[in-house]
Amino acid sequence: MTVERSTLPIRHADGSYAEPPVALLSRESVTRAAVILAVLAFVLASVRVAEVDPAKLVTGLPRLWAWASTAWPPYTGDFDAFLYRALETVAIATVGTAVATVLAFPLSVFIARNVTPSPLLSIPVRAVVNAFRGIDTVVFAILFVAAVGLGPFAGVLGMIVHSLGVIAKLNAEAIETIPPAPLEAAALSGANRTKVVTYAMLPTVLPNLASVSLYVWEANVRTSTILGIVGAGGIGIEIKAAIDLLDFQKLLTLSAIVLVMVTAIDQFSAWLRRRLV
């Protein structure tokens, strides 16, 4: 095997080795510098468009502290109503995720490239799924508030549509990682597509699919806390009312309830995922 002389290290008389030469004008160096400059320019432009002004933060912190100091002690007069709104928040996330999970499974099988019955038709279906995933739950909730009126049902519908896109996308990616051998063996044994999916694919990916749904449910609980701001039910209704009235005692109580609720859901979901995967 021959080695090009240019790749050999240069050794000095004292036994030390010379640093390899750096070609500053090589294509790789120029490309790397251009990428770094482009990223820096984009970040600086984003800072300007976002109107980032640290001076405003410095001058606003005393005002924020003055408001926060009025939040103690927490307001507990309507604690039972707050707990009901928290339960409503969890219910919106639970129903929305459960329905989305059921609807997303056939879609995920249809758009997964290794098991789809129609590669051509899966392309527009994948585009629709990506559209559902790309538009936030709050936007869908606003649309459904206009359709079905104020209340948690609009939040459930909005969460179903967005979660449908997220779960279908993540499930399809999990299905596409299945080794082809089990699926091919089932097909060669004479099993039809339904049996291949049921007996060869589903047992392999079921833990991952369940983990995806639990993760989305966990995220939906956090998202559903703000759905009330647009009139779609949940504890967000109380949070918006407290902010509008500058009632910081009530806001502190509601924030504490949200923190406890989200932490408990996160821990429970993580425990279930550890048991499943």
pLDDT tens-place string over residues 185-224: 666 666 666 666 666 666 677 777 788 888 888 888 888 8
Domains of the chain: 79-276 (1.10.3720.10)
pTM of the full predicted structure?
Answer: 0.72
The whole-number pLDDT of residue 40 equals 93
The whole-number pLDDT of residue 15 equals 62
Residue-wise burial string across 80-119, b where 16 or more C-beta atoms lie within 10 A, e elsewhere = eebeebbebbbbbbbbbbebbbebbbebbbbbbeebbeee
pLDDT above 50: residue 3:
no
Spatial separation of the C-alpha atoms in residues 275 and 60, rounded to whole Å? 47
| Of 35 and 2, the one with more pLDDT | 35
* Degrees, nearest 5: CA angle 200-205-208: 170
| Of 44 and 174, the one with more pLDDT | 44
The whole-number pLDDT of residue 39 equals 93
The whole-number pLDDT of residue 186 equals 64
pLDDT above 80: residue 147:
yes
pLDDT tens-place string over residues 55-84: 888 887 887 777 777 767 776 777 788 888
Residue-wise burial string across 244-254, b where 16 or more C-beta atoms lie within 10 A, e elsewhere = eeebbbbbbbb
The closest of 82, 64, 227 to 159, measured between CA atoms, is: 227
pLDDT tens-place string over residues 19-60: 666 566 677 777 888 899 999 999 999 988 888 888 888 887
* Alpha-carbon dihedral 242, 248, 251, 255, rounded to 10 degrees: 160
- Ranking 18-22, 140-144, 159-163, 186-190 by mean pLDDT, the lowest is 18-22
Q: What is the mean pLDDT of residues 108-133?
A: 81
The whole-number pLDDT of residue 22 equals 58
pLDDT above 80: residue 231:
no
pLDDT above 90: residue 117:
no
Q: What is the mean pLDDT of residues 140-163?
A: 86
